Amino acid sequence: MTRVVVTGAAGFIGSNIVRGLNARGIDDIIAVDDLTQGDKFRNLADLRIADYVDADLFYDLFAEGGFGKVEAVFHEGACSDTMETDGKYMMDNNYTLSCGLFHACRQRGVRLLYASSAATYGGSDTFRESPEFEKPLNVYGYSKLLFDQRMRRELGAQFQDATHQVAGFRYFNVYGPREQHKGRMASVAFHQFNQFRADGKVKLFGDYGGYGAGEQQRDFVFIDDVVAVNLWFFDHPQKSGLFNLGTGRAQPFNDVALATVNALRSAPPLDLAGAVAQGLIEYVPFPEALRGKYQCYTQADLSALRTAGCDHAFADVQSGVSSYMKSLLNS
Catalytic residues: 140, 182
Please name every residue paired with 168 in a beta bridge, in sequence order, or none if there are none: 114, 242
- Neighbouring CB atoms inside 10 A of 147's CB total 26
Q: Rg of the Cα trace of the chain?
A: 20
SS3 265: coil
Beta carbons of 35 and 41 less than 8 angstroms apart: yes
DSSP annotation of 280 reads S
Answer for the pair 223, 175: CB distance below 8 angstroms, yes or no: yes
Query: Which SS3 state, helix, strand or coil, does residue 244 take?
Result: strand
Closest CA to 20 of 147, 113, 144: 113
- 166 three-state secondary structure: strand
Adjacent-strand bridge partners of 175: 222
Secondary structure letter of residue 92 according to DSSP: I
User: Which residues, including other chains, have CB under 8 Å from residue 267's CB and lie 6 or more apart?
Assistant: none
CA distance 186 to 189: 8
> Residue 110 half-sphere exposure, CB side, CA atoms within 13 Å?
27
Q: By C-alpha distance, which of 144, 131, 66 is closest to 98?
A: 144
Give the alpha-carbon dihedral of 160, 162, 166, 170, to 10 degrees: -30
